[in-house]
Amino acid sequence: MTEFLQIVAGASPVHFFWVVVLRWAFTWALGLPGGDRETLASPATMGISRDSMHKRRATGGKKKAWRKKRKYELGRQPANTKLSSNKTVRRVRVRGGNVKWRALRLDTGNYSWGSEAVTRKTRILDVVYNASNNELVRTQTLVKGAIVQVDAAPFKQWYLQHYGVDIGRKKKSASAKKEGEEGDTTEETKKSSHVLRKLEKRQQGHKLDPHIEEQFGGGRLLAAISSRPGQCGRADGYILEGKELEFYMKKIQRKKGRTAGGAA
């Protein structure tokens, strides 16, 4: 050690650098304390590749890998987009210089009401069903095809504006009706005769699905996610209606019955 200090004292900066490097190399090679041998000796972790170069032929023969691995052939981990108010979307550079948007956390999306031809941005409140895996429901994971509950307020507001009908409101008692009559009349007087005629014409022959009307009472609508949050960074979809709505309502009800039976 004294010899090493004497060399360091009389050495130039360049010599000093090489002395330190050599000393560290010797300690590492001999396994002496001061050289992190295990860390440096371990090879880099190999990434997952989705190329077909390493696969065997249909005949069973091996292929010769005639090129190195490419960045565009790598396999990335799934997004597993979670339902959270802390919105997080990552930009991912992919093959050809194109861009994907990896949503990690979301709680809003654009949902279309098909029969009314209207789309509104609304909050996603809960994940209630997934045909592929119940684990995705338990962990509140947003994927394409997931059945979710969305906030009905934006659609309720649109319906009131478009048809002049406040859907989902609970029926009042006789005494409450008398009290609220004055307020209702003042609201109606604000609308012009032209607007009232237009609203009446829109209501002619219009019928709302009883199941959807029932959902408006609870303030939540069943919807399906039709976009891919891990690819485009959005959780957009459509409101369930008709036979599709009935199908998923039965599925959810059956699932609730099973969980209740299991708990008992």
Range of the domain at 229: 107-263
Question: Looking at the predicted structure, is the pLDDT value of residue 133 above 80?
Answer: yes
Any domain includes 234? yes
| Residue 215's CATH number | 3.10.290.70
Question: Looking at the predicted structure, is the pLDDT value of residue 41 above 90?
Answer: no
100-132 burial, b for 16+ CB within 10 Å, e for fewer?
bebbbbbebbebbbeebeebbebebbebbbbee
pLDDT of residue 198: 85
Any domain includes 62? no
Per-residue pLDDT reduced to its tens digit, 141-193: 999 999 999 999 999 999 988 888 888 777 665 555 556 555 554 455 578 88
pLDDT of residue 200: 83
258 and 155 co-located in one domain: yes
17 and 111 co-located in one domain: no
Q: How confident is the prediction for the chain on average, in pLDDT?
A: 83
Any domain includes 44? no
244 and 130 co-located in one domain: yes
140 and 239 co-located in one domain: yes
pLDDT of residue 47: 84
Per-residue pLDDT reduced to its tens digit, 22-34: 777 766 666 655 5
pLDDT of residue 38: 45
129 and 243 co-located in one domain: yes
**CA dist., res. 223 & res. 118, Å (int):** 14
Q: Which residue has the higher pLDDT, 168 or 85?
A: 85
- As a whole-number percent, the residues of the chain with pLDDT over 90 amount to 54
Q: Identify the band that residue 39 occupies on the pLDDT scale cut at 50, 70 and 90.
A: very low
**Number of domains the chain contains:** 2
Q: Identify the band that residue 127 occupies on the pLDDT scale cut at 50, 70 and 90.
A: very high
Q: Identify the band that residue 37 occupies on the pLDDT scale cut at 50, 70 and 90.
A: very low
3-state SS, one letter per residue, for the chain: CHHHHHHHHCCCHHHHHHHHHHHHHHHHHHCCCCCCHHHHHCCCCCCCECCCCCCCCCCCCCCCCCCCCCHHHECCCCCCCEECCCCEEEEEECHHHCEEEEEEEECEEEEEEHHHCEEEEEEEEEEEECCCCCHHHHCCECCCCCEEEEECHHHHHHHHHHHCCCCCCCCCCHHHHHHHHHHHHHHHHCCCHHHHHHHHHHHCCCCCCHHHHHHHHHCEEEEEECCCHHHHCCCCEEECCHHHHHHHHHHHHHHHHHHHHHHC
152 and 233 co-located in one domain: yes
Any domain includes 58? no
Question: Looking at the predicted structure, is the pLDDT value of residue 50 above 60?
Answer: yes
Q: Choose the weakest-confidence range: 78-82, 83-87, 163-167, 238-242.
A: 163-167
pLDDT of residue 82: 97
119 and 26 co-located in one domain: no
